[in-house]
Amino acid sequence: MDALELCRQGLEEVASDRRRGASQLARRCLAIIVDYARAYPAKDGHALAEAVQTLALDLRDARPSMAALRNLVDNFLVCLPQVRGQPIELARPAVMRSASEIAEQSRQAVMDASRHAAALIDEGRTVITHSLSSTLLAAFRSLAARRVRAVITESCPLREGLVLAQELSRLGIDTEYITDAQIGLFAAHADLALVGADTLLRDGSAVNKAGTYLLALAAYDAGIPFYVCCESFKFSDLSAGEVTLEQMATSELAAPQLPHVHLRNVYFDITPARLITAVVTEHGVLTSSANRSRCSSPPETGP
């Protein structure tokens, strides 16, 4: 299989990936673009830009619930008009460099957001979370020395919780691993809830793995803060009514096909802004009201 075919296969992997979060998948898209730009047999910048743009648009639309993917690819597409007039020996490295730089910005934003999130959590506190998020994992890495405790969920159907359990075990963080159904029981014993997000919507609500909304309800009922931590690349101009919540293969439920019974596997739910205490990005901590008005006013910067 040649390099171009590998890139096309990469697109399919992004579309079907159920384990990686939006940030990781968005950067994976940029890495695929780099590989494609390196391998595509174009005679000039125009031909390269055309080919790369086609792939980039396919990648952008592969995961409609993930704003980061759309935003990072859109940021990349801005470089293309400039390279169209260039000879191929200049255009090729320019395209590759542009994609790499945006991936690096995303990586840095994740680190900065996780650092701001970690600063919210005092020594010895218990953090309850749901699903697996690279931002959250980075926050736990900062927290390992501060003897925080974690409550993590199985996160069915694919059980990303098992991966998070392994990572937290390696970090030496005292962790309770629960079924998704126990979220209510354990939220009552935690000091705060902290989750990642796949997309943050215009109205301040957060799209994340199904079950996140239940954790937010339980946190609210238990009177503990509920923080969403994500880089600002995940902000979307869509509102809750406009977003597509992806449905995945019902075979993941491993349940038999029965007459009159429809298996449902909606991967994401929407946590309304009213249940979110603050959104933590690379810019700092945005309280819920700042979050709601983030389009019209500058965000508060955190610690």
| Residue ranges that bind a second copy, judged by CB under 8 A | 130, 154-157, 161-162, 165-166, 168-169, 172-186, 209-211, 213-214, 217-218, 221, 245, 253, 255-256, 258-266, 269
| Per annotation, catalytic residue among 198, 203, 237, 269 | 198
DSSP 176: E
* Residue linked to tokens 């993590």: 152
What's the full length of the chain, in residues?
Answer: 303
Distance CA 14, CA 60 (A): 10
d(CA 190, CA 277): 15
Smallest separation (angstroms) from a second copy to the CB of 153: 8
Catalytic residue list contains 198: yes
Q: Which is nearer to a second copy, 259 or 298 (CB)?
A: 259
Least distance to a second copy, CB of residue 159, Å:
8
Q: What is the DSSP string of 72-108?
A: HHHHHHTTHHHHHTSBHHHHHHHHHHHHHHHHHHHHH
Shortest distance, CB of residue 161 to a second copy, whole angstroms? 8
How many CA atoms lie within 13 Å of 274's alpha carbon, on the beta-carbon side? 3
Task: Identify which of residues 157 and 196 has a Cβ nearer to a second copy in the complex.
Answer: 157
Quick one: 77 or 217, whose CB is closer to a second copy? 217
What does the CA dihedral 145, 149, 150, 151 come to, rounded to 10 degrees? 170
Whichever of 9 and 179 has its CB closer to a second copy, that residue is 179
Nearer to a second copy, 180 or 282 (CB): 180
* Shortest separation between residue 111's beta carbon and a second copy, angstroms: 24
Minimum CB separation of residue 69 from a second copy in Å reads: 22
CB 68 within 8 A of CB 26: yes
Is 134 in contact with 21 (CB distance < 8 Å)? yes
Enumerate the active-site residues.
198
